[in-house]
Amino acid sequence: MEFKLWPLDITYGVVGGVAEVRIFAIGEGGERVTVTDRSFKPYFYVECADCVGKLPREVEKVEVVERKFFGQPRQFLKVSTRLPEHVKTLRETFASMPGVVGVYEADIRYYMRYLIDAGVLPCSWNLAEVREVGKLGSTLVYEVEKWLGVVGGFPPQLRVLAFDIEVYNERGTPDPARDPVVMAAVKTSNGGEEVFEAVGTDDKSVLRNFANFVREYDPDVIVGYNNNGFDWPYLTERAKAVGVSLKVDRLGGQPQSGVYGHWSVIGRANVDLYNIVEEFSEIKVKTLDRVAEYFGVMKRGERVLIPGHKIYEYWRERREVLRQYVLDDVKSTYGLGERLLPFLIELSSVSGLPLDQVAAASVGNRVEWMLLRYAHRFGEVAPNRVEREYEPYKGAIVLTPKPGLYSDVLVLDFTSMYPNIMIRYNLSPDTYVQGDGWLGEIHIAPEVGHKFRASPPGFFPTVLKTLIELRKAVREEMKRYPVTSPQYRILDERQKALKIMANAIYGYTGWVGARWYKREVAESVTAFGRAIMRDVVERARELDISVIYGDTDSLFVKSGGDVERLMRYVEEKYGIEVKIDKDYKKLLFTEAKKRYAGLLKDGRVDIVGFEVVRGDWCELAKEIQLKVLEIILHSRDVQEAKRNVITYVKREIEKLRSYNFEVDNLIIWKTLDKELGEYKSRPPHLHAALILKQRGYRVGRGVTIGYVIVKGGEKVSNRAMPYIFVNAREIDVDYYINHQIIPAAVRIGQVVGVRESDFKTGEKSLLDFI
């Protein structure tokens, strides 16, 4: 029978010496099913010239096949093996055989190989010819006979479960061997909400009740916040320590740790929302409460907040508050899931990576898995991952702004410039021409001189064209639905997923870790980009349009001139659509690139690059900088603005001097980019991190440290203290005045003539006394 299914998770097992692929999926009627296939043999490719050698017995079959390699037709041996694990061992065996030139695609995981070859897309509707073979627990099992392709449609109703745990520990980072899980909270998409609690310090019931709940609710998707980094490893360790089994997957097993810190719960998609939140650079401090507020899920002011190091106190003395806290956390997590899952589902479908992996996978890997699918479709054998040396190359042009206040400025944006360049000039690893051998039509990149065949269309340009066309079709389809409909929302997430994947391809070509790494391609893309930018600036000059600033693919121009003509010029000459991205009434530049701020025609204040938008300046300094900016943007004349700025900032400085502030507003947040031992110098946040470590906290790469500068004679670094250990009276207010408030205020204020000395008149320097 024909069956339409939406794959959620995939795994395999070996039964009777045969690999069996198992796809956990949802049918059209909402039924949960398992689809199996025992017919697919693992394989890899071998390229050889007169290969000799005895075939190992793990080899099932060898065929000579026609494939392409970087666009060139070639013959390969397709070596199929009996079991997935044989691929790894045979890879070595074949590589060392006399006559073997290369072994390819031997590092592709079996179940991914299956999805790619069968053309099965996770988180999409796939049509298959199946037959029913029985039941596994309560779900039907089908055996697939033939895959009939991907069909369109919207995702089914998913059962989602969010969870969160709280651990009792008196200092530092909790230790599963010692510290009990005193609370576990769950929230489900059918409205269920529960908190499981320990009895005293006995947490066996928490673990059991949690596992029972998961099994009974039987979720398709499990979401957590840092569950890969904390909850799952902690729960499984703790379960082992107290002798409880944590059987939560769909085959009666425990969660398993996979590669790169990802945890899998077979049959379900375990998604760590923190993974995806990490990609939102506009969120500076990524604690659950702040992230939930950012996404409009729950306001921080309307929920219970307990710092991690005080949880044990609340468990001992104010348990009902802790209960509310864990509930607020799980509600936030659930809400985040509602907000983020639709995008992840589409990203899974576009990249071809199963849902539970797509959030954890890096951008480069998502692109690579997508490319592997297209390569298979085009009959291309994928190049191997090889270790390469990093070679820098020139990037985009950034114009130098003239400092000052401008009025009526338009920002022109060249849409999808890099993808368009790649398509137009056919830039791809397989179209790259080395030397002068090629006699057909070629494109030559400016400055760098790399050559590319003009036809036929290369691998990357073809993929890009496909993605752009798909996106266009999705955007067309969106018009058929009301903006507020769920369908519209899903299609919008789909077009976003297609867009970000297309935009990531240029970066991928310049990434040394990429299979299809080709520096010459990346280098040519930026070279064409620079040439276009220079040409458009020149054209603007000819048209008497004044150019104020530009960065990569945007141009800031004075409105009033024939801007439309300039836009048409770019569209006609380069085939790149130009859109007016922003329309400023007033715009402010200092002498710095990548930093500007302005008042948009719609009344919004827009700030780019300045301290206000940076996470590593304290709230107070940012708040003051914003005010200074607003004073300037809203005043009619420069002198008045200058006076008002000075009066305002002086007042703020006085407040600080008289200890009229909140410590929270003075916290400086910085992320550790390395492990503590790898630092060559001792910056402030490292100092603060070392203090945290000394007091039992686990800190290292990726952790964001919040510190304040306290009094003392030594250098700044030695006075950086984790804010949780500091009282207001210990704060070094002079540091904040001279190194946070004044620099932030002067940076913007300088445009109307405000100088550092305007704020230091009250203070007599030693020189004055002499």
Partner DNA sequence: GCGGCGCTACTACCT
Partner DNA sequence: ACAGGTAGTAGCGCCGCG
Cβ closest to DNA, residue 168 vs residue 460: 460
Residue type, 87: V
Residue 522 sits in the site that holds DNA (CB under 7 A): yes
**Whole-number minimum distance, CB 57 to DNA, in Å?**
36
Number of residues that bind DNA (CB under 7 A): 64
**Whole-number minimum distance, CB 671 to DNA, in Å?**
3
DSSP conformation letters of 396-424? --BPPPPPEEEEEEEEEEETTHHHHHHHH
Residue type, 639: Q
DSSP symbol at 231: I
**Whole-number minimum distance, CB 728 to DNA, in Å?**
20
CA distance 380 to 390: 26
Residue 229 sits in the site that holds DNA (CB under 7 A): no
Residue 765 sits in the site that holds DNA (CB under 7 A): no
Among 51, 65, 454, 504, binds DNA (CB under 7 A): 504
Residue 579 sits in the site that holds DNA (CB under 7 A): no
Residue 552 sits in the site that holds DNA (CB under 7 A): yes
Cβ closest to DNA, residue 126 vs residue 509: 509
| Tokens encoding 84 | 């997935």
Half-sphere exposure (Cβ direction) of 246: Cα atoms closer than 13 Å: 23
Among 71, 308, 717, 726, binds DNA (CB under 7 A): 717
**Whole-number minimum distance, CB 711 to DNA, in Å?**
15
Cβ burial of 561 (10 Å; 0-12, 13-18, 19+) is middle
CA distance 698 to 302: 30
**Whole-number minimum distance, CB 723 to DNA, in Å?**
15
Half-sphere exposure (Cβ direction) of 506: Cα atoms closer than 13 Å: 22
**Whole-number minimum distance, CB 286 to DNA, in Å?**
11
Question: Of the listed pieces 127-135, 645-653, 669-677, 721-729, which binds DNA according to CB under 7 A?
Answer: 669-677
- What SS3 class is residue 754? coil
Residue 393 sits in the site that holds DNA (CB under 7 A): yes
Structural contact between residues 72 and 97, judged by C-beta atoms closer than 8 angstroms? no
CA distance 49 to 100: 6
Cβ closest to DNA, residue 159 vs residue 670: 670
Q: Residues 581-600: x/- map of binding to DNA (CB under 7 A)?
A: ---------x-xxxx-----
Structural contact between residues 336 and 297, judged by C-beta atoms closer than 8 angstroms? yes
CA distance 230 to 176: 11
Residue 394 sits in the site that holds DNA (CB under 7 A): yes
CA distance 163 to 174: 18
Cβ burial of 564 (10 Å; 0-12, 13-18, 19+) is exposed
Question: Of the listed pieces 153-161, 572-580, 644-652, 666-674, which binds DNA according to CB under 7 A?
Answer: 666-674
Residue 365 sits in the site that holds DNA (CB under 7 A): yes
Residue 444 sits in the site that holds DNA (CB under 7 A): no
Phi, psi of 409 (to 5 degrees): -120, 135
Residue 515 sits in the site that holds DNA (CB under 7 A): no
**Whole-number minimum distance, CB 159 to DNA, in Å?**
29
Among 6, 213, 230, 506, binds DNA (CB under 7 A): 506
Residue type, 222: I
Chain residues 111-130 in contact with DNA, contact rule CB under 7 A: none
Chain residues 675-714 in contact with DNA, contact rule CB under 7 A: 678-686, 704
Chain residues 598-637 in contact with DNA, contact rule CB under 7 A: 608-609, 613-616
Chain residues 47-86 in contact with DNA, contact rule CB under 7 A: none
The terminus-to-terminus CA distance of the chain in angstroms comes to 98
Residue with tokens 């000052």: 404
Among 14, 398, 444, 638, binds DNA (CB under 7 A): 398
Among 715, 753, 756, 763, binds DNA (CB under 7 A): 715
Residue 526 sits in the site that holds DNA (CB under 7 A): yes
| Tokens encoding 483 | 């903006």
Q: How many helices (H) and strands (E) does the chain have?
A: 21, 28
- Other Cβ atoms less than 10 A from the Cβ of 622: the count is 20
- Give how far Cα 461 sits from Cα of 378, 418, 433, 468, 570, Å: 13, 11, 16, 10, 20
Cβ closest to DNA, residue 61 vs residue 594: 594
- Give how far Cα 617 sits from Cα of 708, 742, 744, 750, Å: 11, 12, 9, 19
Cβ closest to DNA, residue 271 vs residue 330: 271
Question: Of the listed pieces 89-97, 330-338, 361-369, 560-568, which binds DNA according to CB under 7 A?
Answer: 361-369
Cβ closest to DNA, residue 308 vs residue 743: 743
For DNA, the binding residues (CB under 7 A) are 260, 281, 284, 362-365, 367, 390, 392-396, 398, 504, 506-508, 510-514, 522, 526, 551-554, 590, 592-595, 608-609, 613-616, 669-674, 678-686, 704, 715-718, 739, 743, 747
